[in-house]
Amino acid sequence: MKGDVVQKQFFPIVAPKSTLQSSGAARSTPPAQTTPSSQPSSSRLIPYSGTIIFIGASTGGTEAIREVLTRLPAEVPPILIVQHMPAMFTGSFAQRLDSLSAVSVHEALDGERIEPGVAYLAPGHSHLSIKRSPGGGYHCVLARSEPVNRHRPSVDVLFHSAAEEVGRSAIGVLLTGMGKDGAVGLLRMEEAGAWTIGQDQASCVVYGMPREAALLGALKEVVPLTEVARHVMQRLGAFRLPHRSHA
């Protein structure tokens, strides 16, 4: 049940409620543009192998993050989220997400061990990063250091830590937002072997951060907002699923 974090050996792959056509995004080497294909069977199971999901967003991100989380099942890998937002609002935002989604959501605590089935939202007063724990696993690190890209929390701070600590076991998602925060960090994740996804221009409220990531060559996929959760889940099970050609 939600609220009781239980590590399970297998996670179901689920499809979103609806799908949209993917649109293009500027990039020196175009990332894979995807269109909805046949939905993966919900009966397929994938093992949890230490993968961690990282999400960053700014302008328009509150609804974009809600859209992604509400399309994910309860039994997903840990999720770390940075949304540009004042500290007075991040607590209530986490509570709202928790009430709407199957995933448990709360503000991250410094030193908190991360667990599957839980999403950790950066509080508005601190940078959030991930660190490997001495006894195994990972934990959250909060820091009230100087803003990065004029933001605290900063998506780049989270993504840089993902590249350094998690490497190829990470999935990075950059959603709608003004500016460039997260673009360089996502490139570092991609260079470290992580799978990277950007929201497409057509579904963004502001096509800033994903555009900058695309221009840097940081994106492996560009997808509509309503397709993000499905592509995350497909990536988690990619080594178990047969290859699918996109229409």
Catalytic residues: 58, 84, 181
Do residues 238 and 51 lie in contact, with contact meaning Cβ atoms separated by under 8 Å? Answer: no
User: How far, in Å, CA of 217 to CA of 66, rounded?
Assistant: 27
Task: Check: CB of residue 120 under 8 Å from CB of residue 108.
Answer: yes
Question: 54-87 burial, b for 16+ CB within 10 Å, e for fewer?
Answer: bbbbbbbbbebbebbbebbbbbbbbbbbbbbbee
Instruction: Report whether 180 contacts 151 (CB < 8 A).
Output: no
Distances (CA, A) of 111 to 130, 152, 158, 192: 9, 18, 15, 24
Which pair of structure tokens corresponds to residue 78? Answer: 């840990």
Structure tokens, 37: 């294909």
- Which helix (H) or strand (E) segment holds residue 188: the answer is helix 183-191
